[in-house]
Amino acid sequence: MKQLVLFLGLLFLTQGLCQNDNNKKKSVSNNQLKRLLILLQIVVEENENSDQSLIPWLKDANEKLRKIHENEAYMEFQYETDINDENAQKLNDAGVKAAEVIKIVVSEARRLLRDNPDVDGDAKRQLQRMALDDTPLDSNLVSQLQKIHSDLESIYAKAVIKKDGKTFRMEPELSQIMAKSRDLDELKWAWQGWRDVTGPQMKNLYKELVRITNTSAVENGYTGGRKETWLLNQFGSTENLKNQFQNLWRELKPMYQLLHAFVRKRLKSFYRNKYPGYIFPDDGTIPAHLLGNMWAQQWNNILDVVKPFPNVKTPDVDTALKHRYPKPKDLFQLAEDFYTSIGLYKMTPKFWNGSMIVRPDDREVQCHASAIKMCTEINKDYLETIHHEMGHIEYFMAYRNQPEVYRDGANCGFHEAIGDTIALSVMTRKHLKTIKLIPNKKSFNEHEMDMNFLMEEALSKVAFLPYGYLIDKWRWDVFSGRIKPEDYNKSWWNMRIHYQGVSPPVSRSEQDFDPGAKFHIPADSPYICYFFQFYETLCKESGHSGPLHTAMLELGASKPWPDTLEMFTGSREINAKSIIQYFRPLMTWLKNQVSENEIGWQDN
């Protein structure tokens, strides 16, 4: 459910946002926002093909699942906002209890599907979703798996580097160093230090997680192991997905390579001037610690080095935010105001009373941003993140009346798009002027301003694409056995170099486990969602002209995602045409800045 809303919002909000008029970017108009609101408020008709005889059982099963999922989610939040042994045990117990209920529901759903071969429509879809499960059959393994999950997250959340009597956490200290420092030694220290205090402690745990989940998937009847259930959980099928992702990357690769070549050229010049003896890798890659982010996943923090027109002043949004919205809660209220301005929901009292908005001083917490927890700093990045995360909550509230089995997205990529759509609209110059974060006046050269703006967006969005793809590609190969535990790190860097063209600043070995330095690996959280949603959802021009009565916020996971996609685009497959069109003015400019022999890197 979540993903569909997201997708619909993206399609309609970006109808204007992803088009260019005389190379000038349009922001979303009020009319387009109204169209989105109308779309999201339409109520879907009940599926007339549902088997009425199964409704009582489905209703009871959905209620059981709702209760155990609600309890498990609550315990997970308690643990992530107060990481201690007691809360870890409570989370473990909730997981074991949930597994017991799920096993019963799964078994009965599978029996009903066998005994009712003619069941069709909504009842069949609910049963099929309930029958999907890879929970270990052995309750002891359930408990063991729960402990592995909490231990992995605990290692990540508690990781710190100490130096000269000071403590450096990922948020905010290490993130700020990676974003703002241009000191080679300091950047290398932070980059290597974070990996030293995370990955090595995780490797054996992760190896065991893979073993248990693979075994459990096979025991539950999925011959493809964890890779099969991973894809089924996120996309509802495994059909042709590998080819779709490969085709998407093939379309996007030239755009990424062009951006990579320009950024490498600027960074190489910058650091050679600053450190005359510094030697860039001769294989065409970019050292991963120079890209402004601990994981080199987004490069917007090095805009000062690679800005197309450096003499065109970039508005200082961070300073304006601290002046106008000095408290972290102010940023959340600003985001709420935006959502309510387009007719969506206000946050509830439970949100304001129960959310973790800033890092507490009295306990260990997980600071990785999610819908209801964040270690907020007053800056532009957090402004965007808050709008994105609140988009998830808007989505949750919209589908709260769906059966539990449909309280999910058409696929995992849809859910990320609603927040990204809103965030992209919020971060336009037009909106920033509206909320008085940048001066309400025109630049002397709008074209140069647009190029700088598009570069900042490309450093965030285009630079992210291969990373968003390779994380789950690495995991799929791990789950399938193509990557063995003794090659975890080697294969990780082979992929980083092959797809991203980034290389480690210091030598790496199998004593390291660099995938574990990224939250989504120890958290066992999908990542391909971000890669998927950006192309089709973030910048897909809507050509939909049919009836809208089946397209609404409340639809959830009640339809297969290819059906939803075809409804709006006329195609059951995603493509990259719109995002390429969106960045074409910048790419045209970049082609004049680099030569052909500067594009690409070895092993690509």
153 catalytically annotated? no
CB 537 within 8 A of CB 414: yes
Q: How far apart are CA 95 and CA 105, in angstroms?
A: 15
CA–CA distances in Å: residue 53 to residues 59, 102, 105, 559: 11, 22, 17, 21
Burial of 209 (0-12, 13-18, 19+ CB in 10 A): buried
The backbone region for 50, taken as left when phi is positive above 0, alpha when psi lies in -120 to 50, beta otherwise, is beta
The Cα 9–Cα 353 span in angstroms is: 28
Place of tokens 């509802």: 236
Residue 567 to residue 564: CA distance in whole angstroms: 5
Q: Has 520 been annotated as catalytic?
A: yes
Q: Report the alpha-carbon distance of residue 294 to residue 289 in Å, rounded.
A: 7
In order, the DSSP letters of 24-42 are: EEPPPPHHHHHHHHHHHHP
Evaluate the omega torsion of the peptide bond into residue 172 and state whether it is cis, within 30 degrees of 0.
Answer: yes
- Give the list of residues 6+ apart from residue 206 with CB closer than 8 angstroms, or none: 152, 488, 513, 515, 516, 521, 522
The helix-helix angle for 488-495 and 465-480 (nearest 10°) equals 150
In 3D, which of 482, 480, 506 has the Cα closest to residue 493? 506
Q: Catalytic residue among 447, 498, 520, 544, which?
A: 520
Q: Which residue out of 76, 389, 394, 404 is catalytically annotated?
A: 389
- Centre a 10 Å sphere on the Cβ of residue 507 and count the other Cβ atoms it contains: 6
Active site residues: 389, 520
